[in-house]
A = this chain, B = another copy of it.
Amino acid sequence: MDRTRLRRKPQRGSHDRAVIDAIVDEALVCHLGFVAAHGPVVIPTTHVRCGDVLCIHGSAASAMLTSLATGIDACVTITLLDALVYARTAFHHSVNYRSVIAFGRATEITDRAGKLAALAALLDKLEPGRSQRCRPPNDKELKATSVLALPLTEASAKVRSGPPVPDDTPEDAALPYWAGVIPLVTARAAPIPAP
């Protein structure tokens, strides 16, 4: 587990599965890193956690999915930005965040039942029950879609929360600048029906 050892600010880190799972489940997008012929590549994609694995999907013709399906090393990173942290000194400005980094190799889900379950879970993550409120994939659509599973076993979380760190000196503490936290909130706006 050396590659999940937290080097920078280890006090912010956790290998607690409940912490990791909650971050993975709240985030709608992950960033997948792998090494292509020309070097490192990072691709954003949607995901859903199914137990111990992260499921992603896309076109069966996707270069990323076909590369990952060969079992190359991958790194998946998930980040939730919670707040801007203003301090009285430039140095102590920060952000509050919750992130997960997982290392592993993907495997393709090829059995029909497993594939349908993962695709349904992707929809139900957007809105509980959504997979029951649309036509399920037909054979042609299923064939055109690849679904991969990435293990979440080798994962760590990192979290910063709360106010800026205390000022280093009484002089800094006496500075006339505002310090505190500006929370960032993501919400769903009014739905726009399709034309």
Copies of the polypeptide in the assembly: 2
Contact A187 B189, beta carbon cutoff 8 Å = no
| A103 pairs with B39, CB closer than 8 A | yes
**Chain A, 13-44, contact with B by CB distance < 8 Å: what is the 0/1 string?**
00000000000000011011111101111111
Chain B residue numbers with a CB within 8 Å of A177 are 133-135
CB pair B135–A90 under 8 Å, yes or no, is yes
A interface with B by C-beta (< 8 Å): 2-3, 7-8, 28-29, 31-36, 38-44, 46, 58-59, 61-63, 73-77, 79, 81, 84, 86-91, 93, 95, 97, 99, 101, 103, 119-120, 122-123, 126-127, 130-131, 133-138, 141, 144-145, 163-164, 172, 175, 177-195
Does B39 lie within 8 Å of A75, measured CB to CB?
Answer: yes
> Can you report 30 A-B residue pairs in the complex whose CB atoms are below 8 A from each other?
A2-B38, A7-B63, A29-B79, A29-B81, A31-B77, A31-B79, A32-B42, A33-B75, A38-B103, A41-B101, A42-B77, A44-B79, A44-B99, A84-B126, A86-B130, A90-B119, A90-B141, A91-B145, A93-B122, A93-B130, A133-B178, A134-B175, A163-B195, A178-B191, A182-B189, A182-B192, A184-B186, A185-B186, A185-B187, A185-B189
Once the chains bind, are B180 and A194 in contact (CB under 8 Å)?
Answer: yes
Q: Chain B residues near A46: list those with CB within 8 A.
A: 95
Known: A134-B86, A135-B90. A34 touches B40 (CB 8 A): yes
